[in-house]
Amino acid sequence: MTIDQKVIEQRIEHFKQVCLNARVKLTRQRLDIFREVARSGDHPDAETVWKSVRKQAPNLSLDTVYRTLWLLNDLGLIKTLGSHHERTRFDANLSRHHHFICTSCGLTKDFYSETFNNLPVPDDLSSVGAVETLQVEAHGICSKCSALNRQHKQKPSVKEDYHE
């Protein structure tokens, strides 16, 4: 999935501005790496970014990718996601959004919902901490995986339903 060209350009402008403000040097590598995350809609991990950028800049090193991604994260230009058992992945979408997560393949897709943006914060959370934002995770099986499952005539998994 690819992001609209206009949005990419906006993101890159913003990136340059933030670097300037923060007195962070604008190197070729940083621009390449940020552009790659900004234009990819599917939350790539460090190695994926590295492989993509290396097509144009073959001597980019993987550790620079890591260093840069964490720098961008510290600057608030990208966010991290991805759970256990998979590598850390990065997202340049700073708009308020929610995630669909495929429990089979791990696909994580952004989606937007005004309803979910305006959920009430439960009262009893105030003792736990101060909630800043609520994000909804929709867990399920993505279209691709359910197509595959149908082909292979897989039996549904046999987890018991149990609740305390």
Partner DNA sequence: GTTTATGCAAAACCTTTGCATTTTG
Partner DNA sequence: CAAAATGCAAAGGTTTTGCATAAAC
Residues near DNA (CB under 7 A): 19, 23-30, 45-47, 57, 59-64, 66-68, 70, 84-85, 87-88
66, interface contact from DNA, a copy of itself, none, CB < 5-8 Å by kind: DNA
d(CA 98, CA 108): 10
Q: Which helix (H) or strand (E) holds 57?
A: none
The partner in contact with residue 1, picked from DNA, a copy of itself, none with C-beta cut-offs of 5 to 8 angstroms by kind, is none
Closer by beta carbon to DNA, 4 or else 63? 63
Interacting residue ranges for a copy of itself, rule: CB under 8 A = 7, 10-11, 14, 18, 75-76, 80-85, 88-89, 93-96, 100, 102-103, 107, 109, 111, 113, 115-116, 119-122, 124-125, 127-143, 145-146, 159-160, 162-164
CA–CA separation, 20 and 75 (whole Å): 11
Contact between 102 and 115 under an 8 Å Cβ cutoff? The reply is: no
Tokens 């992945």 belong to 89
Measure the CA–CA gap between 87 and 56, rounded to whole angstroms: 24
Contact 141, 107 (CB under 8 A): no
Q: Kindly tell me which of 133 and 154 has the beta carbon lying closer to a copy of itself.
A: 133
